[in-house]
Amino acid sequence: MAADTAILLWLNSFVGHLPWLDRAVSLAVSDYFVPTTLALLMVGLWYSGRSEAQRERGQRAVADAAVGLGFANLAVTVLNHFYYRPRPFVEHELRLLFYQPPDSSFPSNPAAVGFALATGIALSHRRLGGVMLALAFLWTAGRVYAGVNFPSDVVAGGAIGALCSVLAHGFLPLLEPGPTIVLNAWRRIYLA
């Protein structure tokens, strides 16, 4: 854990010295910018595609990401029920760029969310998934810089999110014809 704290303190030591970076990180770690961007990218993927097969591939990727997100949130909730880790600003004197969240620092729920969504898309759409993975990385690395998570918190949260989406990607085809029936029903009412 010494390395965990050393990385946190080193990154946080730059806060206040580069105003442009502080503003960029404040935007990146907000509760709205990255999650909204990821959601809009998924909505765009849901409705895009030149052919019905391309649209269906995108819709199945969105389903993988959504199911992975659900399981990632469940995993984080269960872990938080059994283990509580104080936030870095409780244990160390840090310069904060973000409000003080009261929940457990480990594992990072934003990391689980970002990497679940990004991985779910990346498994079928590499280019868009790469953009989403970059956003998830910026969101979570910024939380360490901003003093609200330890590096191990975001690594664990990201691993949980990615693993849950990989499992969803492998599990959903086993539920056929259920997913196809749902997609077809949504198409009949113009939701897909």
> 68 in a domain, yes or no?
yes
Average pLDDT on 38-56 reads 93
> 91 in a domain, yes or no?
no
Count the domains in the chain: 1
Model pLDDT, residue 76: 97
> 93 in a domain, yes or no?
no
Q: What is the pLDDT of residues 113-159, one digit of tens each?
A: 999 999 999 999 999 999 999 999 999 999 999 999 999 999 999 99
> 23 in a domain, yes or no?
no
Domain residue limits at 106: 31-86+98-139+152-188
> 4 in a domain, yes or no?
no
> 58 in a domain, yes or no?
yes
> 43 in a domain, yes or no?
yes
> 79 in a domain, yes or no?
yes
105-108, long-range: CB < 8 A, 24+ apart: 105/148, 105/149, 105/150, 105/153, 106/79, 106/150, 106/152, 106/153, 106/156, 107/76, 107/79, 107/153, 107/156, 107/157, 107/160, 108/140, 108/143, 108/149, 108/153, 108/154, 108/156, 108/157, 108/158
Model pLDDT, residue 190: 77
Distance in angstroms between the alpha carbons of the first and the last residue of the chain? 47
Model pLDDT, residue 151: 96
Q: What angle do CA 121, 123, 128 make, to 5 degrees?
A: 45
Please give the mean pLDDT across all residues of the chain: 92
